[in-house]
Amino acid sequence: MSKNSNNDKLIIFDTTLRDGEQSPGASMTKDEKVRIAKALEKMRVDIIEAGFPIASQGDFESVQAVAKVIKNSTVCGLARALEKDINRAGEALKPAASSRIHTFIATSPIHMKMKLRMEPDQVLEQAVRSVKQACKFTDNVEFSPEDAGRSELDFLCRIIEAVIDAGATTINIPDTVGYNIPFQFGDLIKNLLERIPNAGKAIFSVHCHNDLGLAVGNSLSAVLNGARQVECTVNGLGERAGNASLEEVVMAVRTRQDVFSCDTTLDTTQIVTCSKMVSSITGFPVQPNKAIVGANAFAHESGIHQDGVLKSRETYEIMRAEDVGWSANRMVLGKHSGRNAFKTRMKELNIDFESEQELNDTFSRFKDLADKKHEIFDEDLQALVAETNWSAENEHFKLISLKVCSETGETPNASMVLDMGGNEVTASSDGSGPVDAVFRAIETVVNSETELQLYSVNAITSGTDAQGEVTVRLEKAGRIVSGQGADTDIVIASAKAYINALNKLVTGDEREHPQRGDV
């Protein structure tokens, strides 16, 4: 029996805004981060890791902005075990009602030798010094021995005991490279809790990556062995194959209360809304068969299953779709909805307008959309706002007009007018399809020398009049950006998405990656 097992609250630490943002091309603007943070707060996430303040001025300001508006969740900032990182995190978190500093240093032999080029004793000393530094800003300090999943148990015990003595209140055990197997990771947590004499003074947390598809399995195994905080992300977003998915961890624990002796305090009915928001903002689509939040997660295709579900829901359903927020996707507004109804619904969706002008512009785009599309769903409203954010980023390129010809037996052709830094230019090209023709036409004048890494189209809602949300991921000299566009015409949405990605390439600021080896 683990030392923490009396504590039946499972703390949910969401790192969508930090580790999630480390997914190549998933970077978010300050406003987008604030919107996601508000949705996480509404879902009653306990801790929101809002970013890595030393990474860039933009990251610092985002953490600060989240710290200013969030009142019911603790806001956390990441810092390497360096004084300058910790001071920057402390500064960004100053406005928070409740703040946490999360500091980390690698502890596995390979990371210490090859990345840090430090001896274990030096690592231990730096960890202790950093935790003490963080305690000057807040009494809520988390320490992570990075790559704990490949670290030596004796050294882990030694460093963790020392940082708890130095003031760390949460000890997070990351499986940084997603190497562990559930029984092994569970054992690791059990051993740490049993062997570290002062383990009872801290909450043990886990942070699992999904390289072998085991992030959720490893996290749950850790919980069964005494971990009482799980670090996770909405839709499992995150570095490489991602992190443990919040919705899967939360629903596994909630659904299997016969197995788990703890539970979260999350409002699970907010899960689908959060998932859609994160997907739309980052441009990372959710696969249809994804557990909990995939479009097919509660769809019963086979006749036998449908028959069973109609007779008794429990025959094939272990959770209720409503409990994770699926029923919330109702039609909310239409062509005749007025400005007040629009504003009220936006408020319910946590969407605030900074000025009357912004509200008026979005309302006018809502009216244009309602002319083309009979029923306007919450997802359409989210996309309208997302589009304002996408295009708000100092646009160098703008789409003025587009004409596409596509006919059986003929080569598709696109011709367009673009605004490039204030000058109007025309462009045209043939292509193997209409979207190909559009992208080629843009390139005839932009000549970006980028490589297209991903092109995806998602219907935002159901019906053939649905808006298509397009994501385009471009790569240039190792830098990856994602662009998004939405429209009832998917060719126009594609043009918007491509141009949005190009704008990000032109304006994007460089950020430091937290796990680079320059500590």
Which positions lie near ligand KIV, rule CB under 6 A? 19, 104, 144, 146, 174, 176, 207, 209, 514
Strand pairing category for 203-208 and 170-175: parallel
- Terminal-to-terminal C-alpha distance of the chain: 38
- Cα dihedral 69/323/261/218 (nearest 10): -80
18-26, 46-54, 104-112, 411-419 -> range binding Zn ion (CB under 5 A):
18-26
How many helices (DSSP H) and strands (DSSP E) are in the chain?
A: 16, 16
Q: Does 21 bind Zn ion (CB under 5 A)?
A: no
Nearest distance in Å: CB 60, ligand KIV: 17
Q: How far is CA 299 from CA 256, 260, 318, 327, in A?
A: 21, 27, 13, 13
d(CA 199, CA 222): 15
Q: Which residue's CB is nearer to ligand KIV, number 146 or number 387?
A: 146
496: partner contacted, choices ligand KIV, Zn ion, none (Cβ within 5-8 A by kind): none
236: partner contacted, choices Zn ion, ligand KIV, none (Cβ within 5-8 A by kind): none
d(CA 235, CA 16): 9
For Zn ion, the nearest residue by Cβ is 19
235: partner contacted, choices ligand KIV, Zn ion, none (Cβ within 5-8 A by kind): none
> What three-state secondary structure class fits 203?
strand
144: partner contacted, choices Zn ion, ligand KIV, none (Cβ within 5-8 A by kind): ligand KIV
> What three-state secondary structure class fits 465?
coil
With a CB cutoff of 8 Å and minimum separation 6, the contacts of 340 are none
Residues 36-55 that bind Zn ion (CB under 5 A): none
Q: Which residue's CB is nearer to Zn ion, number 19 or number 32?
A: 19
- Say which DSSP state 517 is in: S
Q: How many CA atoms lie within 13 A of 146 on its CB side?
A: 21
CB 223 within 8 A of CB 260: yes
CB 243 within 8 A of CB 210: yes
- Total of chain residues touching Zn ion, rule CB under 5 A: 1
Nearest distance in Å: CB 78, ligand KIV: 6
Q: Which residue's CB is nearer to Zn ion, number 149 or number 226?
A: 149
Q: How many CA atoms lie within 13 A of 356 on its CB side?
A: 0
Nearest distance in Å: CB 22, Zn ion: 7
User: Which member of 14, 19, 247, 378 binds Zn ion (CB under 5 A)?
Assistant: 19
d(CA 437, CA 434): 5
104: partner contacted, choices Zn ion, ligand KIV, none (Cβ within 5-8 A by kind): ligand KIV
Q: Does 469 bind Zn ion (CB under 5 A)?
A: no
Structure tokens at 186: 């569970």
58: partner contacted, choices Zn ion, ligand KIV, none (Cβ within 5-8 A by kind): none
Nearest distance in Å: CB 186, Zn ion: 19
Q: Which residue's CB is nearer to ligand KIV, number 102 or number 504?
A: 102
CA-wise closest residue to 460 among 484, 496, 480: 484
Nearest distance in Å: CB 100, Zn ion: 16
Q: Which residue's CB is nearer to ligand KIV, number 176 or number 180?
A: 176
Nearest distance in Å: CB 323, Zn ion: 29
Site residues, Zn ion (CB under 5 A): 19
